[in-house]
């Protein structure tokens, strides 16, 4: 029947929820119910049911009846901070209990002393329940009926919901729900009709509000409860849990492994010789000498009173729309970093909490500009108050959006960027992502900001543009006049203004050598690539979207050695059909103008779950149904993708590559599917290759060889599986080096096993590392597929050594004991190669 009588779970004073001094409960964000101010420290089951949530802090418990009514009993307010102190649990998640069974006991005195309040909300989570016979404003005894709950809306009202779902997960998000992952969560939430709420500790947010989710202050390892109510509640919770548990590509890179505070350093140090030296944090590497040019933001003055609510509301909506359109246009091209940052910015503009706070202020008579500034300011303040430097950086993103909308409301065009001379170094108190995007990247030599952090969006953009950047350099940049000579040494974490003759000479010669090398590399990027003694090495680019193909070719790419097709499959509710896939692959083939295109089949599962691909729960997804394993589990998906690839028309080869191969049997099954796909498409069977990402594949490449046409070593995964180090674990990031001799020995085995296959390639991160390129070639690799921005430098590194030198270097690398020692050997070999050769083809 779906009717339950709720018995008081605690003895104490029963009060209406409105009296709970916490909006989450008083505004019924989690659901309706009542509150009890306890006089005894014992929580008992309010009905027969199953324990669904019992956090390790034991400050709350949820129980679900057989009729699917779920009730949360939250002992006190802000009690999560006690981390279990004073609480004892008598049940565990999944336990079946009877009404009146003891669930928790807690020490009234400890909790009363250390928590914000003892008042205990008892709420029916989700929607679609009618509550009646509520007992409040009197003393109740545990076990006494206090509420009647029944399914369905009160008589005369409209039906509101068909279901509810709850799930608590441990968040694996390294940096919490910051702007980009929050925008992705909101995107998936928007694809569902259910109302979805996220709860972490005492904070709650709607899944449709990126800003609200950022303010949860979620940290890696925190418990996160997803609650949904509505027609597709179960699916919504499942999709969001999958997305969040995937880690959302929040991988630790060196810059992310050790977050640095965004507080500025103390200020410059004055040298005797007139130098002014600022210390900061490296946000993008490099060394440049140039002239200082300041970028200062003009103050935007806004009027508090508006010209009528209707007028101001329309003006606000129009401004939001124009800025959103501008961001959308900006996000349609350029590198992937820029697109994802602009998409996260665009999400602010439709954030329901932010926009409704602004509209509320407009309704109260404020001008659109004042209202927008207040809403952004309040949220930015909240983000800054979380004490997390990364969230403070997201507040800077919000201020960027605030400014763009204010300028639009004022009828001003976005401020013109400062005119840069070639080699200028930009100085700013802080830089907004939109300002950096507007600058002339070809002229900008470097960036130094007084504030900011190494994981800010400005830092990510600068690195993608190849512009050295120093952040958090502290007060005092104003003391440097425009036009002053500066040395920006981001690697050395310092900016020197008015350098001494000695500093200048040393820096100039280092910077000039770097510049020369890069310019030479760029100038020669279009030429085909051979070692110093003429051995042909193909240098391809890794691509992740159709828009990147033409730029990669312009940067010297001789083909695409890895097309990561995940971009087509992620963040949507249904898989792309054959036509959509074919169109995308065709666009990439067209951009490559007949150069080889190697399409990797969907690498789903593991860290890349798909909402529409049912997968069993896995305790260890990196060792689970990922790569080709998930493809073979869902052959219809693989077959559709293979058919789409077979239908691509190009004057060059279009090949299929299988990820995560561990056995010959997998290749045979995939080949059977490919033959079928080719028959269906009426085409010849394309070349078929495998990624060497498991030690098993590396050690048995000779056995795989009869089944395949080429290999490509995925050093990212091969390193993770060889060293048994999770590639997403920030604590292991420094040790996770593909130049470890163990990985190199496996690559050597794979190259030997591959014999004379069409390509013996590498497409993992090592292929983008100029120090690694000569070693890989020495091990027998003949094709390197690098990040597009690194193609020219990789070609230059290949050209600098003979095949004999590469082989000698590789042999030494296999024999040393660490990745550091390998790097040292490689750096020495490249340095030697850069001093002029007296005899061509010098002996190894």
Residue 308, CA distances (Å) to 352, 354, 395, 441 in order: 22, 20, 30, 43
Closer Cβ to ligand PEP, 52 or 719, answer by number: 719
Closer Cβ to ligand PEP, 257 or 300, answer by number: 257
Query: Whole-number minimum distance, CB 713 to Mg ion, in Å?
Result: 10
Query: Whole-number minimum distance, CB 560 to ligand PEP, in Å?
Result: 13
Q: Read off the DSSP letter of residue 705.
A: G
For this structure, is 529 an active site residue? no
Closer Cβ to ligand PEP, 291 or 564, answer by number: 564
393 binds ligand PEP (CB under 6 A): no
- Count the Cβ atoms, other than its own, within 10 Å of residue 728: 18
Q: Which of residues 546-565 bind ligand PEP (CB under 6 A)?
A: 562, 564
Q: How far apart are CA 383 and CA 396, in angstroms?
A: 10
Between 336-349 and 179-190, two packed helices, what is the crossing angle to 10 degrees?
A: 60
Tell me the per-residue interface mask from 508 to 547 with ligand PEP, x by CB under 6 A, - otherwise. Answer: ----------------------------------------
Query: Whole-number minimum distance, CB 765 to ligand PEP, in Å?
Result: 6
Q: 369 is in the binding site of which of ligand PEP, Mg ion, none (Cβ under 5 to 8 A by kind)?
A: none
Query: Whole-number minimum distance, CB 484 to Mg ion, in Å?
Result: 47
Query: Whole-number minimum distance, CB 619 to Mg ion, in Å?
Result: 20
Q: 312 is in the binding site of which of ligand PEP, Mg ion, none (Cβ under 5 to 8 A by kind)?
A: none
Q: Which of residues 446-505 bind ligand PEP (CB under 6 A)?
A: none
Strand order in the sheet with 145-151: 3-7, 145-151, 129-132
Q: Which helix (H) or strand (E) holds 167?
A: strand 164-170
Q: 559 is in the binding site of which of ligand PEP, Mg ion, none (Cβ under 5 to 8 A by kind)?
A: none
The label of the residue with tokens 């890989």 reads 776
Contact by Cβ (8 Å): 214, 394:
yes
631 binds ligand PEP (CB under 6 A): no
The pairing of strands 49-53 and 96-97 is antiparallel
Q: What is the widest separation between alpha-carbon atoms in the chain? A: 98
| Region for residue 810 given its phi and psi (left: phi exceeds 0; alpha: psi -120 to 50; beta: otherwise) | alpha
Q: 188 is in the binding site of which of ligand PEP, Mg ion, none (Cβ under 5 to 8 A by kind)?
A: none
**Considering only CA atoms, which of 473, 485, 374, 378 is closest in space to residue 430?**
473
Burial (0-12, 13-18, 19+ Cβ within 10 Å), 98: exposed
Q: How far apart are CA 645 and CA 624, in angstroms?
A: 26
Q: 487 is in the binding site of which of Mg ion, ligand PEP, none (Cβ under 5 to 8 A by kind)?
A: none
**Backbone angles phi and psi of 570, in degrees to 5:** -80, 160
DSSP string, 122-147: EEEESSSEEEES---SEEE-TTSEEE
714 binds Mg ion (CB under 5 A): yes
Query: Whole-number minimum distance, CB 544 to ligand PEP, in Å?
Result: 9
Contact by Cβ (8 Å): 276, 270:
yes
Q: Which of residues 598-657 bind Mg ion (CB under 5 A)?
A: none
Query: Whole-number minimum distance, CB 535 to ligand PEP, in Å?
Result: 24
Closer Cβ to ligand PEP, 578 or 693, answer by number: 693
Query: Whole-number minimum distance, CB 563 to ligand PEP, in Å?
Result: 11
Closer Cβ to ligand PEP, 212 or 761, answer by number: 761
Closer Cβ to ligand PEP, 489 or 693, answer by number: 693
Closer Cβ to Mg ion, 348 or 540, answer by number: 540
For this structure, is 763 an active site residue? yes
Query: Whole-number minimum distance, CB 566 to ligand PEP, in Å?
Result: 8
**Which among 86-94, 670-678, 685-693, 822-830 is the span making contact with Mg ion, rule CB under 5 A?**
685-693
Which residue is catalytic, options 457, 560, 634, 646?
Answer: 457
**Which among 392-400, 611-619, 666-674, 693-701 is the span making contact with Mg ion, rule CB under 5 A?**
693-701
Q: How far apart are CA 762 and CA 768, in angstroms?
A: 9
693 binds ligand PEP (CB under 6 A): yes
Q: Read off the DSSP letter of residue 836.
A: P
Query: Whole-number minimum distance, CB 608 to ligand PEP, in Å?
Result: 8
Which residue is catalytic, options 282, 376, 646, 763?
Answer: 763
The pairing of strands 138-140 and 195-200 is unpaired
User: Quick one: which of 717, 726, 737, 783 contacts Mg ion (CB under 5 A)?
Assistant: 717
Please give the size of the binding site for ligand PEP, defined by CB under 6 A: 10
Q: Which of residues 763-822 bind ligand PEP (CB under 6 A)?
A: 763-764
Closer Cβ to ligand PEP, 613 or 786, answer by number: 786
Closer Cβ to ligand PEP, 306 or 714, answer by number: 714
Q: Which of residues 58-87 bind ligand PEP (CB under 6 A)?
A: none
Please give the size of the binding site for Mg ion, defined by CB under 5 A: 3
Q: Which of residues 705-724 bind ligand PEP (CB under 6 A)?
A: 714-717
Q: How far apart are CA 762 and CA 764, in angstroms?
A: 6
629 binds ligand PEP (CB under 6 A): no
Q: How far apart are CA 605 and CA 658, in angstroms?
A: 14
Q: Which of residues 726-765 bind ligand PEP (CB under 6 A)?
A: 763-764
Contacts of residue 330, defined as CB under 8 A and 6 or more positions apart, other chains included, come to 338, 342, 437
Q: 229 is in the binding site of which of Mg ion, ligand PEP, none (Cβ under 5 to 8 A by kind)?
A: none
Residue 242, CA distances (Å) to 65, 169, 464, 565 in order: 26, 10, 29, 19
- Count the Cβ atoms, other than its own, within 10 Å of residue 594: 12
Q: 763 is in the binding site of which of Mg ion, ligand PEP, none (Cβ under 5 to 8 A by kind)?
A: ligand PEP
HEC profile for 534-579? CCECEEEEEECCHHHHHHHHHCCCCCEEEEECHHHHCCCCCCCCHH
Closer Cβ to Mg ion, 12 or 606, answer by number: 606
Closer Cβ to ligand PEP, 645 or 763, answer by number: 763
- Count the Cβ atoms, other than its own, within 10 Å of residue 231: 14
Closer Cβ to ligand PEP, 140 or 713, answer by number: 713
Q: 105 is in the binding site of which of Mg ion, ligand PEP, none (Cβ under 5 to 8 A by kind)?
A: none
Q: 564 is in the binding site of which of ligand PEP, Mg ion, none (Cβ under 5 to 8 A by kind)?
A: ligand PEP
Q: How far apart are CA 14 and CA 138, in angstroms?
A: 6
Residue 66, CA distances (Å) to 50, 165, 312, 774 in order: 8, 14, 51, 65
Q: How far apart are CA 227 and CA 198, in angstroms?
A: 6
Q: Which of residues 595-614 bind ligand PEP (CB under 6 A)?
A: 603
Query: Whole-number minimum distance, CB 543 to ligand PEP, in Å?
Result: 12
Cα torsion 258, 262, 263, 269 to 10°: value is: 80
**Which among 335-343, 408-416, 543-551, 692-700 is the span making contact with Mg ion, rule CB under 5 A?**
692-700
Q: 715 is in the binding site of which of Mg ion, ligand PEP, none (Cβ under 5 to 8 A by kind)?
A: ligand PEP
Query: Whole-number minimum distance, CB 717 to ligand PEP, in Å?
Result: 3
Burial (0-12, 13-18, 19+ Cβ within 10 Å), 501: exposed
Closer Cβ to ligand PEP, 400 or 693, answer by number: 693
Query: Whole-number minimum distance, CB 67 to ligand PEP, in Å?
Result: 45
What is the Cα gyration radius of the chain?
A: 30
Token couple for 215 = 């303010």
Q: Return the exposure string of 174-212: e unless at least 16 CB atoms fall within 10 Å of the residue's CB, then b.
A: bbbbbbbbbbbbbbbbeebebbbbbbbbbbbbbbbbbbb
Q: Which residues are catalytic?
A: 457, 763
Return residues touching Mg ion (CB under 5 A): 693, 714, 717
Return residues touching ligand PEP (CB under 6 A): 562, 564, 603, 693, 714-717, 763-764
């Amino acid at each position: 029947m779906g009717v339950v009588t709720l018995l008081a779970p605690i003895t104490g004073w029963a009060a209406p929820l409105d009296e709970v001094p916490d909006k989450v409960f008083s505004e019924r964000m989690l659901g309706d119910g009542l509150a009890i101010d306890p006089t005894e420290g014992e929580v008992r089951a309010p009905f027969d049911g199953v324990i669904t949530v019992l956090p390790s802090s034991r400050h709350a418990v949820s129980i679900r009846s057989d009729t699917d009514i779920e009730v949360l009993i939250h002992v006190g307010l802000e009690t999560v901070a006690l981390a279990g102190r004073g609480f004892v649990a008598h049940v565990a998640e999944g336990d079946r209990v009877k009404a009146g069974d003891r669930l928790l006991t807690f020490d009234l005195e400890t909790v009363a002393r250390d928590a914000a309040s003892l008042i205990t909300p008892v709420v029916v989570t989700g929607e679609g329940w009618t509550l009646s016979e509520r007992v409040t404003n009197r003393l109740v005894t545990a076990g006494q009926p206090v509420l009647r709950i029944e399914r369905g809306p009160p008589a005369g009202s409209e039906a509101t919901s068909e279901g509810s779902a709850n799930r608590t997960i441990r968040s694996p998000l390294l940096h919490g729900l910051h702007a980009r992952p929050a925008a992705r969560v909101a995107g998936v939430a928007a694809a569902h009709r259910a109302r979805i709420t996220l709860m972490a500790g005492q904070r709650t947010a709607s899944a449709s509000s990126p800003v609200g989710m950022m303010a949860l202050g979620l940290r890696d390892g925190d418990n996160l409860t997803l609650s949904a109510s509505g027609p597709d509640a179960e699916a919504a919770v499942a999709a969001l849990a999958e997305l969040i548990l995937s880690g959302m590509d929040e991988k630790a890179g060196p810059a992310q492994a050790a977050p640095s505070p965004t507080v500025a350093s103390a200020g410059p140090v004055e040298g005797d010789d007139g130098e002014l030296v600022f210390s900061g944090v490296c946000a993008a590497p490099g060394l440049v000498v140039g002239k200082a040019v300041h970028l200062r933001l003009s103050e935007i003055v806004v009027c508090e009173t508006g010209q009528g609510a209707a007028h101001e509301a329309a003006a606000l909506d129009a401004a939001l729309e124009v800025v959103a359109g501008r961001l959308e246009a900006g996000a349609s091209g350029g590198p992937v970093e820029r697109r994802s940052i602009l998409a996260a910015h665009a999400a602010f503009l439709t954030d329901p909490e932010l926009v409704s706070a602004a509209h509320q202020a407009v309704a109260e008579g404020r001008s659109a500009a004042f209202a927008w500034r207040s809403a952004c300011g309040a949220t930015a303040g909240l983000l800054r108050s979380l004490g997390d430097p990364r969230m403070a950086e997201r507040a800077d993103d919000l201020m960027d959006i605030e400014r763009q909308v204010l300028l639009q409301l004022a009828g001003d065009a976005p401020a013109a960027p400062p005119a840069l001379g070639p080699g200028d170094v930009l100085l700013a108190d802080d830089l907004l992502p939109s300002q950096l995007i507007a600058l002339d990247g070809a002229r900008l030599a470097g960036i130094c900001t007084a504030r900011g952090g190494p994981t800010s969006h400005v830092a990510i953009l600068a690195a993608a543009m190849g512009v050295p950047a120093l952040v958090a350099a502290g007060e005092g940049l104003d003391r440097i006049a425009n036009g002053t000579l500066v040395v920006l040494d981001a690697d050395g974490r310092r900016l020197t203004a008015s350098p001494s003759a000695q500093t200048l000479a040393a820096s100039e010669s280092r910077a000039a050598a770097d510049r020369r090398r890069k310019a030479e590399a760029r100038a020669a990027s279009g030429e085909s690539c051979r070692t110093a003694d003429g051995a042909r090495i193909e240098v391809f680019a890794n691509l992740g979207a159709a828009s990147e193909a033409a730029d990669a070719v312009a940067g010297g790419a001789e083909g695409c050695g890895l097309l990561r097709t995940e971009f087509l499959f992620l963040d949507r509710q249904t898989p792309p059909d054959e036509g959509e896939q074919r169109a995308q692959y065709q666009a990439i083939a067209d951009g490559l103008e007949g150069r080889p295109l190697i399409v990797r089949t969907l690498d789903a599962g593991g860290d890349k779950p798909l909402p529409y691909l049912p997968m069993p729960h896995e305790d260890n997804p990196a060792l689970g149904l990922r790569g080709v394993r998930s493809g073979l589990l869902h052959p219809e998906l693989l077959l559709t993708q293979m058919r789409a690839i077979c239908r691509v028309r190009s004057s060059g080869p279009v090949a299929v590559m299988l990820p995560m191969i561990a056995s010959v049997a997998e290749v045979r099954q995939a080949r059977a599917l490919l033959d079928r796909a080719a028959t269906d498409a009426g085409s010849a069977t394309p070349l078929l290759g495998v990624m060497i990402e498991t030690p098993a594949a590396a050690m048995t490449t000779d056995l795989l060889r009869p089944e395949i046409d080429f290999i490509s070593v995925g050093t990212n995964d091969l390193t993770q599986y060889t060293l048994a180090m999770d590639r997403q674990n920030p604590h292991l990031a420094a040790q996770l080096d593909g130049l470890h001799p163990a990985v190199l020995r496996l690559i050597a085995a794979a190259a030997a096993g591959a014999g004379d296959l069409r390509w013996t390639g590498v497409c993992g991160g090592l292929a983008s590392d100029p120090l690694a390129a000569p070693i890989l070639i020495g091990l027998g690799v003949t094709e390197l597929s690098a990040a597009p921005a690194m193609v020219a430098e990789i070609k230059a590194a290949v050209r600098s050594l003979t095949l004999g030198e590469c082989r000698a270097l590789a042999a030494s690398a296999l024999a040393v004991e660490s990745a550091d020692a390998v790097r040292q050997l490689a750096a020495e070999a490249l340095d030697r190669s850069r001093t002029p050769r007296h005899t061509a083809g010098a002996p190894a």
